Structure 1
Amino acid sequence: MTGLTQAIGAYAASAPQAPPDDLLPLLRGAFIDTLGTMVAGREEPAVTLLRAQLAERGSTAAEASVLLGAERAHAADAALVNGTAAHALDYDDVALGGHPSTVLVPAILAEAERIGASGARAMAAYLVGYEVWAELIAREPDPLHEKGWHPTAVFGTVGAAAALAALHGLDASRAAQAVALAGSLAGGLVANFGSMTKPLHAGRAAASAVEAVRLAARGFTASSDAMEHHAGFLAALSPKGRVDRDAPARLGEALRIRETGLNVKRYPMCYATHRTIDGVLELVARHDLRAADVAAVEAHIGVTQASMLRNHAPRTGLEAKFSLEFAVASAVMARRVGLAELTDGFVTQPEVRALFPKLRITTRDTRCPLEPAFAETDRVLLHTTRGDVLDSGEIRFPRGAAQNPLEETELHAKFADCTRGWNGGGALLDQLARLETLPAIATLGGGRV
């Protein structure tokens, strides 16, 4: 029986050069949402500091554009900056226990630009990366977050390497080597959530995938069973050692992206907050509540969700992204949780901070079969100063989830909000809306390369 590492290599090597027609809207959406959040995050401190670091060490390569501008860099460095920017606001899409597009899209765009690949080939490569990521996470019954691993950083590195192996047309042997090599370049800790290092996880995963594939293409070797070995990738990550290292790969059968899709964020917050935000916003709007009307809020969420939301009294917009206290306070105070609220100034307002102690978090042990890091449902109970208890009911899928999707107009509106003040947003959206017909990825953003 072919081992998992070799099966992934064979899958990447045999992938079609264009995606199925029925998946084009979903894949376009992934690129639209990722480039929108990338532009929105371009001036975040994590991105500014990273670019300064790269400029200090210098680079003679000019292979791919950085943040869709005139600046060019080595493809790995472009993927590093672009992936970090796309994840800097925590506004990018979610699936498979992490953030697939914020790793896959920057890695693919950087290398597609370098080798002159088309939009259709880039979309097909994305599909390979998603499916490999899905194959790996399906083998693990326990959430990696509970052991401290960030799935975006670890599964993303390997998935992106498979995507780039397909993009480059590597043969099965070298594609497997690239995947095995990527396994040793993967890493990222949940303890760094709420800091600049979390978005760096995404950028580093994209950059590491570029390096792994280019090394493998040169003949750099790695173990042929690095994924499934008893001391390999899956076993090393597994929280309780229950990972399935032996089952035959399902790659090439029914596409898992049709089952799980992508969840597009309505709020620039950790996805673990979104169902609670939906519940609070709905109750506040329906009963026309003000902050003074709220005596207490009970949020019933999953154990792993609660562990991710570690900042109970945030002082900055970055910390607030991982604070359910802030999420509830913003939903009550501003009746929205958007980019305008995720600022240090708003977070530190006394009226906002006064709401933090009113939240009580209760955990539940159920697991969502689609997102095992989450409870099957969340629930909000809002206690008013009048003595009423308002109940959101069980919330299964937040707005923007694959099962409760945004309309295309809503996705485009989010893109417009993300690119506001950036010259070229409308033209870029037009290109992305017909990405499969684009003859060369290098022309994205008006060809400002």
Structure 2
Amino acid sequence: AGELAGAPGQALLDAWVVGFEIEAALGAAMNPRHYTQGWHCTSTLGTLGAAAAAARLLGLDRDAIARCLAVAASEASGVKENFGTDAKPLHAGLAARNGIVAALLAKSGLTASARALDGPQGYLKAMASERQSLGDALEVLGRRWEVLETGVTIKLYPSCAGTHPALDAILDLRRQHGFTAADVEAIAIGVDALTPTILIYDRPATGLEAKFSMQYCAAAAVVMGRVGLDTFEPALVNDARIGGLLPRIAMTVDATLGSDAPALTQARVTVRLRDGRMLGAYADGARGYPARPATEQEVTTKFRACAGRVLDADRADAAMLMLRSLDHLAEMRRLTDCLSPEAQR
């Protein structure tokens, strides 16, 4: 949408905040029931957030914005049953694409119901919303800024967020005590009640399944001392050292976790070593969360690792510089051209 509008970076940032706040308002009204019923919020809420951002960039008027969100309500989908497959990361791309399509259709005059969100057969009803009205959530828009109050999380591990608190705890213990996989008798990981419904693969067969396996992620952290993109490549998924540690790792629900914090954000780890030592750690959040923000170096390392899959080092660094000064970028197309693998050929 920013490319279509010839928008500068400042406009993109403005639209991103609009989309963020719309998603947050929907999440406040619809969760936890919406998520626990099987819907994947990245796609279901993300489609409407992307639509709102695209509408802002394209300069839609009030009536067209309403129709844009109504169209997006009919596009929104994404089920958690697809976790551990190619379809799961596709959800994010579909949300972005569908948001732009909704804005373009609304701009062209496509009609849609004014009650598509909160009508008796609308988005909230169909998607098992916790509340059937957006009133309270929308009331604070423009007065309370979710992006400032709760902040933004940057995931530092390329696995399900539910693994991150435990990974932080395990890696910290490994650094502090210097144990290896051969030293480990058993690892017990306590989590909240929602986490096991998402981390469903105790013996993953693929890298995508491994991203949703607490046992695999924990074993890889112990064996390798880190968790990165290559952790989920076939060579490591089939690594005998990691596979040999899996039976010694157990994930169980800890009733003391999750009652005073958002789901997926707490873990209690106990490592029993063969020499008899018991090592323990409690994690409330993870590195990259607003309370423990990622360092500039951590963000740079993550970006280079991801971008390096499709871009050469010079283009990746050029893109990083543009992103760090996005509010001064004259036109978005400069950035998207830099990020395009086709443009470097």
* Shift in alpha-carbon separation, 1:268–1:147, aligned structure 2, 3 A: same
1:139 aligns with 2:33: no
RMSD: 1.9
- Identify the residue that residue 418 of structure 1 maps to in structure 2: 306
Letter aligned with residue 331 of structure 1:
A
- Identify the residue that residue 295 of structure 2 maps to in structure 1: 407
Structure 1: how far apart are the matches of 2:32 and 2:306?
34
* Shift in alpha-carbon separation, 1:134–1:334, aligned structure 2, 3 A: same
1:442 aligns with 2:330: no
- Identify the residue that residue 429 of structure 1 maps to in structure 2: 320
* Shift in alpha-carbon separation, 1:114–1:368, aligned structure 2, 3 A: farther
Indicate if the aligned counterparts of 1:229 and 1:245 stay in contact, CA closer than 8 A.
no
Letter aligned with residue 391 of structure 1:
G
Letter aligned with residue 125 of structure 1:
A
1:203 aligns with 2:93: yes
Letter aligned with residue 429 of structure 1:
M
Indicate if the aligned counterparts of 1:309 and 1:322 stay in contact, CA closer than 8 A.
yes
* Shift in alpha-carbon separation, 1:166–1:190, aligned structure 2, 3 A: same
Indicate if the aligned counterparts of 1:135 and 1:249 stay in contact, CA closer than 8 A.
no
Shift of 1:206: 1.0
- Identify the residue that residue 379 of structure 1 maps to in structure 2: 268
- Identify the residue that residue 280 of structure 2 maps to in structure 1: 391
Q: Aligned ranges for residues 12-411 of structure 1 at < 5 Å?
A: 111-238=1-128, 241-247=130-136, 248-365=138-255, 366-367=257-258, 371=262, 373-374=263-264, 377-392=266-281, 394-411=282-299
- 3-state SS in 1 of match to 2:113: coil
5+ residue gaps, structure 2: none
- 3-state SS in 1 of match to 2:288: coil
Identity of aligned residues (%): 34
5+ residue gaps, structure 1: 1-110
Indicate if the aligned counterparts of 2:84 and 2:211 stay in contact, CA closer than 8 A.
yes
- 3-state SS in 2 of match to 1:378: strand
Shift of 1:178: 0.4
- Identify the residue that residue 23 of structure 1 maps to in structure 2: none
Structure 2: how far apart are the matches of 1:370 and 1:430?
35
- 3-state SS in 1 of match to 2:90: helix
Indicate if the aligned counterparts of 2:161 and 2:264 stay in contact, CA closer than 8 A.
no
After TM superposition, the structure 1 stretch with the greater mean CA deviation from structure 2, 242-251 or 316-325, is 242-251
Letter aligned with residue 317 of structure 2:
G
Structure 2: how far apart are the matches of 1:328 and 1:141?
28
* Shift in alpha-carbon separation, 1:204–1:447, aligned structure 2, 3 A: closer
Structure 2: how far apart are the matches of 1:190 and 1:170?
32
Shift of 1:254: 1.8
After TM superposition, the structure 1 stretch with the greater mean CA deviation from structure 2, 175-184 or 421-430, is 421-430
Indicate if the aligned counterparts of 1:141 and 1:243 stay in contact, CA closer than 8 A.
no
Deviations along 1:411-448, one digit per CA (max 9) or x if unpaired, are 11222232337221111111111111111101114497
Structure 1: how far apart are the matches of 2:127 and 2:252?
28
Structure 2: how far apart are the matches of 1:287 and 1:273?
21
Deviations along 1:162-190, one digit per CA (max 9) or x if unpaired, are 11111111111110110011011000010
Indicate if the aligned counterparts of 2:118 and 2:132 stay in contact, CA closer than 8 A.
no
After TM superposition, the score normalised by the length of structure 2 is: 0.92
